[in-house]
Amino acid sequence: MGKKLVLNFPSSLVDKPIISSLVREFNLDFNILKAYVTPEEEGNLVLELTGDEGKIGSAIRHLKGLGVKVELLSKEVEMIRERCTDCTACIPQCPVGALWMDKDSFQVKFSSEKCIACGICLKACPTRAMVLRI
Amino acid sequence: MKTIAEINEKIKTGKAVVVTAEELIELCREKGVKKTASQVDVVTTGTFGPMCSSGLFLNIGHSRPRIKLGGGRITLNGVPAYAGLAAVDLYIGATALPDDDPRNSLHPGNFTYGGGHVIEELVSGKDVKLEAIGYGTDCYPRKKLATWINLKDVNEAILFNPRNCYQNYNVAVNLSKKTIYTYMGILKPELGNANYCSAGQLSPLLKDPYLKTIGFGTRIFFGGGPGYVAWWGTQFNPSGKRKENGIPCGGAATLALIGDLKAMKPEFVRGASLVGYGVSLIVGIGIPIPILNEELCRQAAVPDGEIWAPVVDYSQDYPQSTGRVLGEVNYAQLKSGRIEILGKTVPTGSLSSYRKAREIASLLKSWILQKQFFLTQPIFFFPGPESGYTFKMLKEKPVKQDNKPN
């Protein structure tokens, strides 16, 4: 059983070893999909937790108790085809290769399966063809 | 040797051979330059990228009672327009921002809406809200105006862009340790990505590198309609470094372009938001190049692999104008998605759409083949490398306390 979560750490928690406690205290495995510390030194982490469902629930409560903002990864990025001009500015920004250029048509392609909804392509797109659906 | 008049005669009789720059490259590979030059009459090119030095003149028509906008204030959908012209003429620039836009006060700003978007909405046929105040005169008594305007109702809508169609451009990278937000897009730290902005082998001015056929009055594809070359563009620099094939390996030539917005299409005139930088206008441009001789054919057939661009650091070298270039890469490498810089493999992205450039080149080709578009003999040509015309940096003269020019 696995769950994709988006964790936002306040700057006061960025230097604390919080994720390791999920392994020690809740016997969970984690796979970090994305980790980011903003210039304001807040931490943003997208991870997949695997293990007992009850333990995942307890782990989420534990994280919330520490002041971590926890959200299920239920956001989805969508490409509005008519707005996309196929410039490719988004491609090198995508951390997971969910955007690429088709070598024959020179069209930008997007895979929602690979996407982790980090949202960087929304900023990189000059014509705002990428949108976040929640 | 051919003349433009002869080519136009062939277009009229349906005998002209018109190919896109991509097709010309293939033809020259197969048949050689000499044979291709004798067979091909026109090569079409295309480019589609953000071009900040763009803007629109509008004459909105006189109101009853009359108002004089000149010397007053005008906004279109909240974006300020220039009100330093006659009573109901105005100019809205691509980069203009609403007064209440937070800009970069919380860096990086989003720049969701500005002049480029107003122009896009007008060309899309949408109503745009004009609000204006004038100071009132005996002949123009009205002081306030708020009205929806539409492209079809205004008198003239002249897109006049002082600098479009850059001949070549920098490849932007970031050597610093933090992400930077530039007009070349988002640049990730420590060579995280490299962004370029040219259609390369399809780009108009790379295909006639000495502007031997392009000059004042050249008819072009402009935003989906016909347009004209109105002057050489600002920051024009024919004297920069060139490769042996004559192609500049940096910025170089630019064009000032003019055309009727009413004839343009929203697919080729788009507002752009560059995070942390501002708003711009993406313009689609295509220029026909008459193949008057073998030399023009050889130059128009230069492929991506032989067109080089300088790699420049936008964290320090560009903002401080140091002139340092980290290396050179060609457009074949850039379009492969990965380039090597300072020993590191760096993913590439483009601000200019090659897919749209292709679409423009083939549309222009079909216009010519359908006898809807004829070539023009330029009225005069622009300064060449021999002219000494060059691009100057600003020579600052500090303003002293006496407030007198020194």
Q: Percentage of chain B surpassing pLDDT 90?
A: 99
Would you call A92 and B50 a contact, using CB atoms and an 8 Å cutoff? no
List the single residue in B178, B348, B356 with the smallest CB-CB distance to A86: B356
pLDDT per position as a tens digit, B39-64:
999 999 999 999 999 999 999 999 99
Residue range B209-235: mean pLDDT, rounded? 98
Q: Supply A122's token pair.
A: 């929304």
- CA-based nearest residue in chain B for residue A106: B355
Beta B344-350 vs B185-187: how paired, if at all? unpaired
Each residue's pLDDT tens digit, B63-120: 999 999 999 999 999 999 999 999 999 999 999 999 999 999 999 999 999 999 999 9
Place of tokens 């359908």: B370
| A91–B347 CB contact, under 8 Å | yes
Residue ranges of the domains in chain B? 4-50+164-383, 55-158
pLDDT of residue A46: 85
Residue B391: count of CB within 10 angstroms of its CB? 15
Chain B, nearest residue to A105 by Cα: B355
Q: Kindly identify which residue of chain B lies nearest to residue A104, measuring between CA atoms.
A: B355
Q: What is the mean pLDDT of residues A52-70?
A: 89
Residues of B tagged active-site: 139
pLDDT per residue as tens digits for the range A115-126: 988 899 999 999
Report residue A1's pLDDT band, with 50, 70 and 90 as the boundaries: low
Q: What is the DSSP string of B103-144?
A: TTSSSSP----SHHHHHHHHHTT--EEEEEE----SSS-B-E
Tokens of A98: 């969910």
Report residue A36's pLDDT band, with 50, 70 and 90 as the boundaries: confident
* Cβ separation A88–B272 shorter than 8 A: no
Cβ of A89 within 8 Å of Cβ of B50? The answer is no
Please name which of B305, B266, B293, B103 lies closest in space to residue B208, comparing C-alpha atoms.
B293
Q: Which residues contact B81 (CB under 8 A, 6 or more apart)?
A: B58, B74, B75, B90, B91, B92, B96, B115
Q: Is B217 left (phi over 0), alpha (psi -120 to 50) or beta?
A: left
Q: What is the rounded average pLDDT of the residues A39-57?
A: 84
Query: pLDDT-based confidence at B391, cuts 50/70/90?
Result: very high
Using an 8 Å Cβ cutoff, are B62 and B88 in contact?
A: yes
Beta strand extents in B35-72 (DSSP E only):
42-44, 47-50, 55-59
Any bridge partners for residue B263, and if so which?
none
For chain A, domains (ranges, CATH) are: 2-72 (3.30.70.260), 76-133 (3.30.70.20)
Instruction: Select from A87, A93, A122 the residue whose CB has the most chain B CBs within 10 Å, as the one to mutate to test that interface.
Output: A87
Complex ipTM value? 0.95
Q: State the pairing for strand pair A29-37/A43-50.
A: antiparallel
